[in-house]
Amino acid sequence: MKLSGQRKLNQRIGRKLWIAGALALGVLAGCDTFDPKADGALDGFTAEQIFQRGEAELNRGQEDDAAFYFGEIERLYPYSEWAKRALIMQAFSYHRDQDYPNSRSAAQRYLDFYPAEEDAAYAQYLLALSYYDQIDAIGRDQGLTFQALQALRAVIERYPDSEYAQASILKFDLAFDHLAAKEMEIGRYYLKRNHFAAAANRFRVVVEDFQTTSHTPEALHRLVETYLSLGLTDEAQTAGAILGYNYQSTEWYQDSFALLTGQGLEMRSVGDNWLSAIYRQVVRGEWL
């Protein structure tokens, strides 16, 4: 099948660009004594040539070197279209190199300089990832998790129609779940040491503030345990009632049922306490 005239033209242009890029890489890397990081070393090269070198370093897995070349474009050609493209690529390169502070800095500069550009959504997403990708262990400082949540929320609210919004929603839910996991970890720590009041406070935080996470059924069961240990049977029965209403198929419901019935108690809302208020909301369908 013969190619159309336009397609032939596109192929010729593409080949010329490929040859130009290869020549640029040869010029930049062909001399053993050439030091691209020396003062003024790249002053004679075009923005496009430097950009192509940055892309080549990315392809080689040299993210730090790629970020350097993209940064040089920003320095040498600060008001060019290439500088705009290079800045978002610099943020990406640093992120892939796990240099999160520099990735965040480049992404923030992009947002400051080009807030209305199409790649602004991606810059905000990279900024969020610079926090999110450091959330690796429950025991880590939770300040990163809070910052990730704020940055992910910015993607969701400012760029709801972007391709990054859905991914940000999923990561937001996971980060939110992570915070609940931290509260549960601390609560269990107190519970094992018979610090029941302190444990109950942590489990209460999960039930009140992290209702949509996967940790809520266990938190309710732990409240049954702690309140029984404290002799607060009304609260224990009401926590069991919420478990029975929403999470009857879980192992936590079975464990709480055994605990309560073993002491001649029921899984029902009793008294007027913070859990009974939540139970009323559950019955009305306002909290699930």
Q: Is the pLDDT of residue 10 over 50?
A: no
pLDDT score recorded for residue 163: 93
Tell me, what's the pLDDT at 282?
Answer: 76
Render pLDDT for 210-221 as a digit per residue (tens, 0 to 9): 988 999 999 999
pLDDT of residue 168: 96
Closest alpha carbon to 83 in 96, 95, 91, 72: 72
Average pLDDT score over residue span 41-59: 87
User: Which tokens in the block code for residue 108?
Assistant: 């923030």
Over residues 238-245, mean pLDDT = 94
Confidence of residue 39 (pLDDT cuts 50, 70, 90): low
Q: Which of 3-12, 169-178, 184-193, 270-279 has the lowest mean pLDDT?
A: 3-12
Above pLDDT 70, what percent of the chain?
A: 82
CA separation (Å) from 144 to 56, 107, 111, 284? 32, 17, 20, 36
Residue 24: predicted pLDDT: 46
The whole-number average pLDDT for the span 88-117 is 96
CB 187 within 8 A of CB 222: yes
Distance CA 7, CA 57 (A): 30
DSSP 137: -
- Averaged pLDDT, 261-275: 92
Mean pLDDT of 126-149: 82
Whether 138 and 154 have beta carbons less than 8 Å apart is answered as no
Return the pLDDT at 34: 55
Q: Among residues 277, 275, 274, which one has the least CA distance to residue 256?
A: 275
**pTM of this structure:** 0.73
